[in-house]
């Protein structure tokens, strides 16, 4: 489930809870004379008070009586159901921020592929970057966020985050995933290792459901392949399926983000020129070679 769907789920679950509470209230009115009596007496007093006749004290007294009846019947939670999330009151947002309950639900209900934290750039801790690296880190974050927000409209659909381990590539990828998900796009995250595992299953399977191995990778609006270069090179599988997936996605104008410890040249040698030319097509790609100092403490 992406962030947008998770928010919708949380908000409509709250709406259903309240509708159920309302139906329960109506049933209670007809089934419990003591509640009905307390409720009607309170309403009459409130009406009088609104007209300037009764007293506030009387309203308070009748409120108390009604409250006591509710507690005696033990129906408070049914009449006034608490939100599932106290932080956002089941609105999914705390101010402008996405509430943690949304992120949790989105992650818990994610389909297959790797469980992977989705983040937002605004939550990123840039203090981990050195003074030298900070401007480029901020620039990269802003550019990636802009691409994520443009979604299918973005021109640059192949994003390559290259550089040594611990420079923040995967962290940036997880923020890109979060922003894309928030914009309503489906995101699939997979390690290069799992990618090859799926490709191999597809390649060696003759069952009707074999397409399930590759279709999430082809159909997701955003595919993230993490740590390209760490997987095993299987003959007729690794390079071939990587090309197939990247090429298909490019033809269908879908976004693919890879992170890799390899350089552009090393990628060309390992996977072949045609894959490299797809990944690094100048018009269609956004490539950032990270030479940030080790910020492994934030890397995932």
Q: Which residues bind Zn ion (CB under 5 A)?
A: 85, 87-88, 99, 101
Q: Which one, 85 or 242, has the nearer CB to Zn ion?
A: 85
Beta-strand pair 187-191/93-94: unpaired
CB of 105 to Zn ion, least distance (A): 9
Return the number of the residue (51 or 86) whose C-beta is nearest Zn ion: 86
Structure-block tokens of residue 39 = 């409720």
Contacts of 8-14 spanning 24+ positions with Cβ under 8 A? 9/105, 10/84, 10/85, 10/88, 10/90, 10/91, 10/92, 10/101, 10/102, 10/105, 11/90, 11/91, 11/92, 13/84, 13/90, 14/83, 14/84, 14/89, 14/90, 14/91
Residue with smaller CB distance to Zn ion, 52 or 95? 95
Nearer to Zn ion, 94 or 230 (CB): 94
Phi and psi (nearest 5°) for 222? -130, 125
* Among candidate residues 125, 130, 113, the one with its CA nearest the CA of residue 175: 125
Give Cα separations from 245 to 216, 231, 238 (angstroms). 11, 16, 11
Give every CB contact of residue 63 below 8 A, 6+ residues apart in sequence: 42
Sign of the CA dihedral running 75, 78, 84, 86: negative
Quote the longest CA-to-CA distance of the chain: 89
Sequence-separated contacts (24+) of 208-215 with Cβ below 8 Å: 214/241, 214/245
Of residues 2 and 231, the one with the C-beta less far from Zn ion: 2
Which residue, 92 or 163, has its beta carbon nearer to Zn ion?
92
Write down the residue that tokens 């998900």 correspond to.
181
Give min distance, CB of 7 to Zn ion, in A: 10
Residue placing its CB nearer to Zn ion in the complex, 110 or 254? 110
Of residues 9 and 49, the one with the C-beta less far from Zn ion: 9
Using the Cα atoms of residue 243, residue 238, residue 118 and residue 300 in order, give the sign of their dihedral.
negative
* Minimum distance, C-beta of residue 14 to Zn ion, in the bound complex (Å): 10
CB of 103 to Zn ion, least distance (A): 9
Distance (Å, whole) CA 148 – CA 163: 21
């Amino acid at each position: 489930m992406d962030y947008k769907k998770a928010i919708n789920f949380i908000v409509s679950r709250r709406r259903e809870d309240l509708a159920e509470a309302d139906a329960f209230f109506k049933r209670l009115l007809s089934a419990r004379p003591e509640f009905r009596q307390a409720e009607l007496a309170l309403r009459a007093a409130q009406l009088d008070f609104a007209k300037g006749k009764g007293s506030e004290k009387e309203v308070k007294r009748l409120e108390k009586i009604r409250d006591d009846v509710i507690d005696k019947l033990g129906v408070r939670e049914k009449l006034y159901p608490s939100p599932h999330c106290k932080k956002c009151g089941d609105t999914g947002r705390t101010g402008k921020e996405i509430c943690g309950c949304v992120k949790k639900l989105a992650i818990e209900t994610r389909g297959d592929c790797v469980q992977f934290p989705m983040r937002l750039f605004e939550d990123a801790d840039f203090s981990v970057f050195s003074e030298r690296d900070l401007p480029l880190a901020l620039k990269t974050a802003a550019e990636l966020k802009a691409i994520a927000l443009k979604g299918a409209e973005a021109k640059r659909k192949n994003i390559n985050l290259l550089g040594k381990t611990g420079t923040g590539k995967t962290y940036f990828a997880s923020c890109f995933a979060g922003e894309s998900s928030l914009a309503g796009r489906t995101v699939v995250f997979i390690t290069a290792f799992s990618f090859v595992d799926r490709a191999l299953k597809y390649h060696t399977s003759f069952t009707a459901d074999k397409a399930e191995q590759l279709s999430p990778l082809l159909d997701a609006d955003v595919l993230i392949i993490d740590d390209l270069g760490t997987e095993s090179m299987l003959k007729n599988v690794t390079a071939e399926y990587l090309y197939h997936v990247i090429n298909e996605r490019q033809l269908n104008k879908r976004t693919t983000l890879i992170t890799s410890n390899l350089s552009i040249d090393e990628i060309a040698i390992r996977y072949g020129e045609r894959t490299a030319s797809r990944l690094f097509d100048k018009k269609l790609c956004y490539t950032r070679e990270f030479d940030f100092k080790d910020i492994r403490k934030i890397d995932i």
